[in-house]
Amino acid sequence: MGRTIIYPRLRPVFAIAAAIASLGFASASAAPELPSALEAGWEGEHVCTLQHQTATHRVLRCTFPPGVGHERHYHPAHYGYALSGGTMQITDASGTRTVDLATGADYSSDGTPWHEVVNVGETTVTYLIVEER
């Protein structure tokens, strides 16, 4: 049998397929299709708007009045900043938890395979999210 050659440009593709397989899916094609944060919404309405986009990044503004959430979606690597804080309920692979988010709080993430959120507080929560493309 011949040798298998992996061309340098294809290494990231194989790495992604291996990561998906390690999550328990039989193959990359068996992975569920989820919307991005920009595409996902709540009860048919978008909660994020595109503020700016380049070849390498995009900036989203996501607004959650009390009782409004964000259906299940994914994020690539990103940075988030709370323009206005409040109380959010987050559900992901770790379970469901309630988080009190202070105005001005920030975070960074290597990516989120999936999560869903809902504003369970009494104030509107607004995030600015800078995603890698």
Helices marked H in 1-133 — which ranges?
11-22
Specify the pLDDT at position 15.
41
Specify the pLDDT at position 61.
98
Tens-place pLDDT, residues 19-76: 333 333 333 333 358 999 999 999 999 999 999 999 999 999 999 999 999 999 999 9
**Residue 3, both tokens:** 């040798």
**Phi, psi for residue 39 in degrees, rounded to 5:** -75, -35
Cβ neighbors of 122 (< 8 A, separation 6 or more) are: 66, 86, 87
Specify the pLDDT at position 10.
40
Tens-place pLDDT, residues 105-130: 999 999 999 999 999 999 999 999 99
Question: Please, where in the chain does CATH 2.60.120.10 lie?
Answer: 34-132
Which pTM was predicted?
0.75
Identify the CATH homologous superfamily for domain 34-132.
Jelly Rolls (2.60.120.10)
